[in-house]
Each structure stands twice: as structure tokens, then as C-alpha cells.
Structure 1
């Protein structure tokens, strides 16, 4: 049996990924600070194995404790594959360098970069002792490869996540494991993160009006459509380890 772990599964893309996986009869472990009751009800109606675990991904000690417990429980079941979706992310602080506050800088790096590194390291370590394949999907951003004024911290954390993804893939290939790690850039979606961006100031974020237009002109992607393409790639495609996929590629294929 396959099991999926999804960080940030309570809303946005994470919620949509969880819904699609439950439809595919894949057991889901949701990790976020709050539980999505709809996911629990879907799992109950389908008789699927589902569990929510609360975790603050900006606290390293909490990450270690929570994911050690998850790994212990899942690997004990001898699953054929564990799908790890490092989806949780934060955009703040939106501000130019010189006007940044320390606390949101540190939280951004911890949630967007340190948490995925710690979680991936833990699961690949456990996988060395089992026959379970681990597939890691790191949700990244176009901002990882494009400098955006006001987003220096977000751009940097996502660029770091891309490099971590690519380097880990090289290492796993050298070790001749069956494990796969990819990046996935979901594009500009209609999520709470976009609301945060639109509520920022033009002094802090030069492209503010452009992002407001995305919403006004209905140009934002729906998370369900994005999740559907990602799940198709992961479950029915042949993801190339180390590659960063963009939603545009998947929508065009």
C-alpha cells in the first residue's frame, strides 16, 4: 500500500492534493497546524486510512518529534511507497532589504527550506533500512529562478529548495536507490498566499498591481486543476529525479 504525507494540507494546494490522493485510494497523513474537517469526512466516507497531526514547521524540535513518530508508524507497515509532499510555505516578509524584520525572515527560511530538508533527510535515512521507496515532491516557485523586488527572502528560500532537490537526486542516484525527488512549481494559484500578496504595499512590492490584475481578470489557477496534474505525474508518469517541473509543462502535455 502507498502512504502520502502532505505538509500544509489544511488549505490551498495541500488540501487539493490530499483530496485527489484519497480519491486514488491512497492513505493520507495531513500535517498542519489546524485540521481540515472536510478531508477527514472524505476519508471516512471512503473507508480510507487518514490521520491529521498538528505541527508548527517553524520549530525544529517539533518537526523532529512529529516526523520521527510519523516515520516510525509508516515504515512499520512496510508500504510499497511513501509519497512525501513538502508543500507548506510562507511568502512573508514582503519588504525590501533594509526594511526587513528578523522574525519573519527566520520563519520563512525555516518553513520553506529548513523543514523540507529535515523531513526529507529523516525519511531517506529510514528508507535505507527498508524496501520502501520514498518519492519526495518539493513544492517550489517560479520565484526560485526570478528575482522579484520585495520577495528577497522567499526567492532565496525557494532557490535553496531547488538546489537541495537537485543535489539530493544526484546523491540518491550515486547510492543506486529507488528513491525519487522532484521539485514542482505550481504557478500562480487562487490561494490565501495570493491574498497576502495583494494586501501588501506597493512601496514594499513593485509588482503589486500586476498581481491584483491576476485576480480581477480571473487568471489565477484553481488548486484542484494543479493538484490533478501533479498527481497524474507522480502516480502515472515517470518523474525524473532532480527535475523541477512547472505546471505549464504539465498543462500542455
Structure 2
């Protein structure tokens, strides 16, 4: 029996990953502030289970309690493999550094960096205790490797996530565990986040016209297509390379 814990399953890439994994026979636990009821029917049709946990990932205490509840349900004697996919993220606030408020900075870092750090730590801790093989996937962005006007927070949070992921992968290797920790870069997709980016003012985000062109020129990937690549990687668990940066661009 295989389980996948996925954050941000209400829509977009998270929902697409959940759907494809369930169709492949994987039981899914979704974490999001809102429920995606379509996933329940997909689970029934696929003969697997879908459980939803409503959680504000920016609330550390709430996240801790939620992950512990999920761990109790996922890590059991019938389980052979657990996937953790940290997908939820935000690009906001899009603006220059001097316009950032302390509240906005904290909320951004809590969701984009602290939440995946905590979920990874809690899930791997339980995996060690139970002796169940676990694969952690942290969804990153090319913004981690370049400086973008108006994206100082987004680029920083993703760069931090990259270093964290690579460091944890190194630890698992040195500890000689069977667990694997990887990064997945989906590049630009047709999601709500892209809509937020296109609505930014040129004063806050100088590349806004380029992102508007991506939409007009149909250069945004469908989340189902991107999810299919990640799911194919995950289902071939033996071939997954611990610590690797997997990019959708390598599969086009």
C-alpha cells in the first residue's frame, strides 16, 4: 500500500498530482485551506482513498497538529511507501523590498519555506521510527537561481528550499537510510499564481509584460501535463536519485 501526502490540493498542480497518483493506485492525503470535492470522486473511481485535511500552512501550530494526525493514518504496518509532496506556495507579495511589511514577509516565508521544512522533518522522523521508505519532493522554481525585480521574497524562499532539500538529502545518504529527498521544478504553468503575476504593476514587477506574453502566446504548461512527468518519476521509485533537481524542461 502506498500513500501520498500532498500540500495545496485544492487546485492547480497539487490537484493534478493527486488525481494522477490516485489513478495509479496510490492513496492520497491532501492538505489545503479549501476542499477539492472532485478528488473524492476520482478516488472512488480508482478504488483508493482520498482524505482531506483543512489546514492553514502558514500557522505552525496548526500544521504540526495536522501532520501528526496524518502520520498516524499513513504510517501503518500495511504501508510500503510514503510520498510527501510539498507543493503549496505563493508568489506574493510581488514588490520591491522597501514596500514589504513584516506581516507579508512572515506569511510568505511560513508558507514557502517553513511549512515544507516542518512537514519534511515530521514525516521523515515518523518514517525513521516506523521503518517505512519515504520519498520527499519539494516543488521549486527557476526563480531560486536568478535575481528578479519584485521577486526578492519568492526567489529567496525557493533558494532556501533548494539548499534545505539538498542538505536533507545529504543527511539521508550519510545516515544510509532508504529515504530520498528531491526537488522538482515545474517551470511556468497555467495556474492561479500566473494570474496573480500578470496582474502585478510594472512598478512592482518589471517583467510583467513578459508573463502576459506567456499567456497570450500559449506558452504556459497545463498542470496535468506537468503532473504526469512528476508522477512518472515518483512511480519508478527505484530509479529516483536522492538529492537530484528534476526539471520539467528535461522532459520536453
Which interval holds the TM-score relative to the shorter structure? over 0.9
Q: Which residue does the alignment assign to 1:126?
A: 126
Contact 2:136 2:181 in 1 (8 A): yes
SS in 2 for 1:6: strand
Query: After the TM superposition, which of the residue ranges 46-55 and 168-177 deviates more from structure 2?
Result: 46-55
2-structure distance, mates of 1:244, 1:103: 31
1:82 aligns with 2:82: yes
2-structure distance, mates of 1:102, 1:204: 17
SS in 2 for 1:111: helix
Q: Which residue does the alignment assign to 1:224?
A: 224
Matches within 5 A, 1:26-175: 26-175=26-175
2-structure distance, mates of 1:206, 1:212: 12
Matches within 5 A, 1:203-222: 203-222=203-222
Q: Which residue does the alignment assign to 1:250?
A: 251
1-structure distance, mates of 2:158, 2:77: 33
Give 1:77 shift.
Answer: 4.2
Q: For residues 135-193 of structure 1, give each alpha carbon's deviation from its aligned partner in whole angstroms, at most 9, with x where no partner exists.
A: 00000000011111100000000000000010001100111000000000100000000
Unaligned runs of 5+ in 1: none
Unaligned runs of 5+ in 2: none
Contact 2:229 2:251 in 1 (8 A): yes
Q: How many residues align?
A: 251
Cα–Cα, structure 1 residues 196 and 215, in superposed 2: closer, same or farther, change >3 Å?
same
2-structure distance, mates of 1:208, 1:100: 19
Cα–Cα, structure 1 residues 47 and 69, in superposed 2: closer, same or farther, change >3 Å?
same
SS in 1 for 2:124: helix
Contact 1:78 1:132 in 2 (8 A): no
1-structure distance, mates of 2:86, 2:184: 10
SS in 2 for 1:128: helix
SS in 1 for 2:120: helix
Please report the RMSD computed on the Cα atoms of aligned residues, expressed in angstroms: 0.9
Matches within 5 A, 1:173-192: 173-192=173-192
Q: For residues 34-80 of structure 1, give each alpha carbon's deviation from its aligned partner in whole angstroms, at most 9, with x where no partner exists.
A: 11011111112223111011010000000100000101111134411
Contact 1:135 1:181 in 2 (8 A): yes
Cα–Cα, structure 1 residues 77 and 104, in superposed 2: closer, same or farther, change >3 Å?
farther
Q: Which residue does the alignment assign to 1:22?
A: 22
Q: Which residue does the alignment assign to 1:240?
A: 241
Give 1:236 shift.
Answer: 2.0
Contact 1:87 1:138 in 2 (8 A): yes
Contact 2:25 2:47 in 1 (8 A): no
2-structure distance, mates of 1:162, 1:104: 22
Query: After the TM superposition, which of the residue ranges 172-181 and 71-80 deviates more from structure 2?
Result: 71-80
